[in-house]
Structures are given as structure tokens and as C-alpha cells.
């Protein structure tokens, strides 16, 4: 990775940290002003984190489809490496951590830990996290020019987050095992 790419990556990470700190300070202020409204603000943060995580989970395998068709070491391949790495580090990883942390707090605070629908949702979120792990490994392998998967594989893997997202949304909204 070039020095310019590394610098802009550090700047993007710094902006993400600043955004999280600002959001945390706003959340603390809201809690101080209206402690009863905290649950809804945390729920909003959870939805925002899920949207960011899912955006990355849907976009990253599309990048892999195109990257798998490029010649290792080419300018295009190097560009994909930067895009994939930043998407994973700056958006997907922080969003997943926030989604998990506040999601578990919401489940505990809302008294959902013993509900059947929550157990099914938790299984789907664990599966989504496993797919995230597969994608993280792929970013590393692509960065090392060691990808051995064809674009067709990545097209199929692109469907996994979509199917899990549909199941999770249905479980949360319908609560079929309540």
C-alpha cells in the first residue's frame, strides 16, 4: 500500500473514532437530560449500526467478485485491496461491535433473553458474524494475492447476508416464537 493510501486510511479511521466519541458524548448528554429515553436512543444506535454493518456485508462480496477477475498485483487489484480493507476496518468491524454490544444490552434491558424469537435471532446473528469472519479472511487473502475463489463463489456468498438479514428482520418484527 502506498504512503498516500496509508495516510488517507489513518484519516478515515480517525474520523470514525471522532464520530463515535461525539455520538457517545451525545448519548451521555441525552441520558443525563432524559434517563427514561435512553432505551430508545440505544435502540436507534443499534439500528444505525446494523444498517452500516449490512451495507458493508452486501457490498464487500461484490468487490470480491470484481477483484477475483483482476490480475494479482495490477493497479486495479491494488485499488480493490485498499477499498476492501477500509470498508472492513472503518465501517464493518466497528458497526458489528456496536451492533453486538448495544444489541445484547437491549435484549437484557428489554427482558428478551429467554424469548424463543430472540434465541432464533441470536443464532442468525451468530451466523452473520461467521460470514463476517469469512469475509475478513478473504480481505486478508486478497491483500496477500492468495485468493483462490472464483467470482461465482463470491456471487453466491453475496446472498448469505441477505438471507440472514431477512430472517432476522422477520424474527424481530413478527416475534413468531414469543
Assign 3-class secondary structure to 41-83.
Answer: HHHHHHHHHHHHHHHHHHHHHHHHHHHHCCCCCCHHHHHHHHH
Under a CB-based contact definition with an 8 Å cutoff, are residues 34 and 54 in contact? no
Q: What is the pLDDT of residues 143-172, one digit of tens each?
A: 999 999 999 999 999 999 999 999 999 999
pLDDT for the residue numbered 28:
79
The C-alpha atoms of residue 160 and residue 151 are separated, in whole angstroms, by 15
pLDDT for the residue numbered 37:
79
pTM of structure: 0.85
Cell 479472511: give the residue.
Answer: 137
Band (6; pLDDT cuts 50, 70, 90): low
Q: What is the pLDDT of residues 8-47, one digit of tens each?
A: 667 777 887 787 788 778 777 877 887 777 889 889 989 9
Judge residue 14's burial from the number of C-beta atoms within 10 Å of its C-beta, 0-12 exposed, 13-18 middle, 19 or more buried: exposed
Q: Is the predicted pLDDT of residue 3 greater than 70, yes or no? A: no
Band (2; pLDDT cuts 50, 70, 90): low
CA–CA distances in Å: residue 92 to residues 32, 84, 140: 30, 10, 15
Q: What is the pLDDT of residues 80-122, one digit of tens each?
A: 999 999 999 999 999 999 999 999 999 999 999 999 999 999 9
Arithmetic mean of pLDDT, 121-141: 98
Under a CB-based contact definition with an 8 Å cutoff, are residues 46 and 53 in contact? no
More confident residue, 5 or 131: 131
Half-sphere exposure of 165 (CA within 13 A, CB side): 16
The C-alpha atoms of residue 100 and residue 94 are separated, in whole angstroms, by 10
Amino acid at each position: 500500500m502506498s504512503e498516500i493510501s496509508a495516510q488517507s486510511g489513518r484519516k478515515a479511521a480517525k474520523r470514525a473514532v471522532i464520530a463515535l466519541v461525539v455520538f457517545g458524548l451525545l448519548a451521555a448528554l441525552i441520558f443525563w437530560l432524559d434517563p427514561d429515553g435512553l432505551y430508545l436512543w440505544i435502540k436507534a444506535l443499534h439500528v444505525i449500526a446494523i444498517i452500516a454493518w449490512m451495507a458493508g456485508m452486501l457490498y464487500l462480496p461484490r468487490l470480491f467478485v470484481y477483484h477475483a477477475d483482476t490480475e494479482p498485483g495490477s493497479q486495479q487489484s491494488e485499488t480493490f485491496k485498499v477499498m476492501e480493507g477500509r470498508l472492513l476496518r472503518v465501517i464493518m468491524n466497528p458497526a458489528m461491535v456496536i451492533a453486538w454490544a448495544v444489541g445484547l444490552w437491549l435484549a437484557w434491558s428489554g427482558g428478551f433473553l429467554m424469548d424463543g424469537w430472540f434465541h432464533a435471532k441470536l443464532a442468525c446473528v451468530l451466523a452473520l458474524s461467521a460470514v463476517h469472519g469469512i469475509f475478513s479472511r478473504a480481505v486478508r487473502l486478497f491483500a496477500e494475492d492468495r485468493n483462490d475463489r472464483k467470482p461465482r463463489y463470491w456471487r453466491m456468498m453475496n446472498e448469505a447476508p441477505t438471507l440472514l438479514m431477512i430472517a432476522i428482520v422477520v424474527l424481530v418484527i413478527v416475534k413468531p416464537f414469543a
